Structure 1
Amino acid sequence: MSRFCLRSFPKRQNAVVPFTIEQYNSYLIVPEKRPNAVVRLFCFPFAGGNASTYSAKWSSDLPKSIEYVAVQYPGRQGRSSEPFITDMKELVSQITDALTPLIKKGNKPYSFFAHSLGTLVAYETALEIRRRKLPMPEQLILSGRGAPGTTDPFGKPIDCGLPDREFADLCVSRFGPSPGLIDQRLFSVSLPPLRADMKLYYSYTPLLSEDSTPSCPIPLEKPLAVPVTVFGATGDPLSQPEMLQTWQRFFTDEEDPDEDSGSDSESSESERRDDLYDDEMMKRKKELFFERIVIDEPFHHYLERRNFKEDFMRCLSSLVVRSMEEEVWC
């Protein structure tokens, strides 16, 4: 098999990438449908984000082998007439409904990327996918915070009922500068989804073992048998190394017999796979099942920094290569 390489991000000076609205459904927005892509990457926004949070930054830079799909929550952009959802269970159920046609048997392999609040939504969505016995993600790439139930380094919650300017200033002081909260032209549009997402965060109660502690949360449900890469930054209080490490208990390198790999249950194809393929894939997944990357950056919003992009692209390269190898072996 020939080696597969991804091109690096080009250098741009104040580049603006147009965001063209296409969609599979109201929850799943795609700047460019790529029927020949090897894998789909579903991206969950951070608090206050929307479908263009990553699209304008990444979609044109990703290789043709990856189809980028943004998860769009209600109440923003083209869904501005819909009410915000501030209940995690309801949001995850609706996202999973929207994902099902694109992840059920016979579709491309897929992965999740999420930053900050999005990591909690992505994790809970992966749990719901397992409950519904749908094919699981090839990998989760989680960035910018510790696992569910991890200690909040800021202590006192933000009062979501504060006046607009006071609420925004408090968010900036904790999470770093955000264009939508600094630029007065964007302020009135950016604040309502941020306020709704903070309500979503503070109302979220993860299912944890009674043995859990804030510094060592333990999931009540069995860990996900999915490889995971977690990103953090040296200057980000939400993603310090010890906080990123808390994700390890939420994932396992042990094969889960209850998880659907995407093969047809009415077919014996999986039984006819060569033993060498099975052994090689299991070995690869065990090697990759938990990876922690801490980049040298001072802020929570580091997704545009080159340090992050280089490691992020390496993760995607590995994902594409594994997906291509599985297609060849199957």
Structure 2
Amino acid sequence: MTCFAFRSFPKKKETTQAKLIPKYDDYLLVPEKRPNALVRLICFPFAGGNAGVFSSKWSSDLPKAVEYVAVQYPGRQTRATEPFITDMKELARKITDSLTPLITKGKPYAFFAHSLGTLVAYETALEIRRRKLPLPEQLILSGRGAPGAIDFGGKPIDCDLPDNDFADLAVSRFGPSPGLIDQRLFSLSLPPLRADMKMYYSYEPELSDTSTENAPEPLEAPLPLPATVIGATGDPLSQSETIETWRAFFGREEAKEKHNDRENADAVTDIDTDSDADASYESESASAPAKKKKPFFFQKIVIDEPVHQYLDRRHFKEELMRCLSSLVVRTMEEEVWC
């Protein structure tokens, strides 16, 4: 087992006043409210993460047409005194409760989620559909396969191990994390990670009887949403064949068989997109200007670098901006047709 020696750092002077983060409510933080934005990007953090993991890096980079909203799970940062939630579906219900006032105001929105956050985002989208609320215009999922897909990380980590042993296993399994190898952050980072890993290992997605680890299939109908899934070579949790497992979880019922037939014909390339997506959208726009169905496409992007590095890289940001730009354009077109 790889061991990490913790360095000693001088203690920082305690600040007398905590920085206030703008928010819609406890679950939804927004660094910069943009009332004139055309769409919202709602982000779900990875295991052990918090609402701040993307804020400082992305919020200022987003075009003014996009408002960034970060989901804050209980038990971290401004919610540090609250108990953790270790049940995935309970967390999805709580997030949906908070999202309801925001998503019923008519402004289109998209989900972005990384790693464990992809499962939380998927369950939240299912809960939104059950309540007959407006669905996201698009899901952008990064860093892992679909619910029920084989876990290439190996056998489950014992979440009750002593602190250093648990941290060593987590770092060796998922890669270096500043929160686990920096003594100043260690005591703050470890409890959320333990809670999130317990949530992950106790998660039981609802899958069909024919589902397998290599080809999971949802019990509920696929979400009728455009989906972009992003993976990275060299990372077992998000290789091309792993993120391909998301395909069965999205699409129209009548199109599901067609898309399944295409899987064998898809080439393993950096970008794998259904070729008729744009044509489908154009035909719907022309035939039903009053109320269009969401265009469906399944896009797979594989970046040639380790997963724990690419979130900060230019290539990933370019792909994210491309997805959002496409959504903004579609939103503008819908306003014209409506």
Question: TM-score by structure 1 length?
Answer: 0.85
1:95 aligns with 2:95: yes
Render the CA deviation track for 1:6-33: whole Å, top value 9, x for unaligned: xxxxxxxxxxxxx860110100000010
Task: State the alpha-carbon separation in 2 of the partners of residues 307 and 255 from structure 1.
Answer: 34
Superimposed CA distance per residue, residues 261-302 of structure 1 (whole angstroms, 9 cap, x where no aligned partner): xxxxxxxxxxxxx9616389979823xx20000001123342
Partner of residue 172, structure 2: 173
Looking at structure 2, the residues matched to 158 and 277 of structure 1 have their Cα atoms a distance apart, in angstroms, of: 53
Identity of aligned residues (%): 73
CA distance in 2, matches of 1:126, 1:138: 11
- Conserved 8 A contact 1:21-1:29: yes
- In 1, distance between residues paired with 2:208 and 2:298? 21
Q: Secondary structure at the match of 2:139?
A: strand
Equivalence for 1:221: 220
Equivalent residues, number = 292
Are the counterparts in 1 of residues 285 and 337 from structure 2 also a CA contact under 8 Å?
no
- Asked if 1:37 is matched to 2:45, the reply is no
Change (3 A) 1:277 1:187: farther
| Structure 1 residue 241 corresponds to structure 2 residue 240 | yes
CA distance in 1, matches of 2:80, 2:120: 20
Task: In structure 1, give the amino acid aligned to 2:320.
Answer: F
Q: Distance between the aligned counterparts of 1:162 and 1:232, measured in 2? A: 30
CA distance in 1, matches of 2:119, 2:211: 17
Aligned to 2:5: none
Counterparts of 1:286-305 in structure 2, within 5 Å, are 286=296, 289-305=297-313
The code of the aligned residue for 2:306 comes to P
**Counterpart residue number, 1:323:** 331
2:300 is paired with a residue whose SS is strand
Distance, in Å, in 2 between the alignment partners of 1:125 and 1:90 is 10
CA contact (8 A) 2:238 2:307 kept: no
C-alpha distance in 1 between matches for 2:220 and 2:100: 22
User: Does residue 1:308 correspond to 2:324, yes or no?
Assistant: no
Q: TM-score, normalised by structure 2?
A: 0.83
Give the secondary structure class of the aligned counterpart of 1:82: coil
Name the counterpart of 2:115. Answer: 116
Q: Contact (CA 8 Å) 1:27, 1:98: kept in 2 or not?
A: yes
Structure 2 SS opposite 1:219: coil
Q: 2:145: which partner in 1? A: 146
Q: Pairwise mapping of residues 201-280 of structure 1 onto structure 2 (< 5 A)?
A: 201-253=200-252, 276=286, 278=288
CA distance in 2, matches of 1:64, 1:255: 37
Residue 70 of structure 1 pairs with residue 65 of structure 2: no
Q: 1:175·1:301 contact (CA, 8 Å) conserved in 2? A: no
SS class of match (1:84): coil
Question: How far 1:253 moved relative to its partner?
Answer: 3.9
Match of 2:51 in 1: 51
Task: Answer yes or no: is the 8 Å Cα contact 1:88–1:200 preserved in 2.
Answer: yes
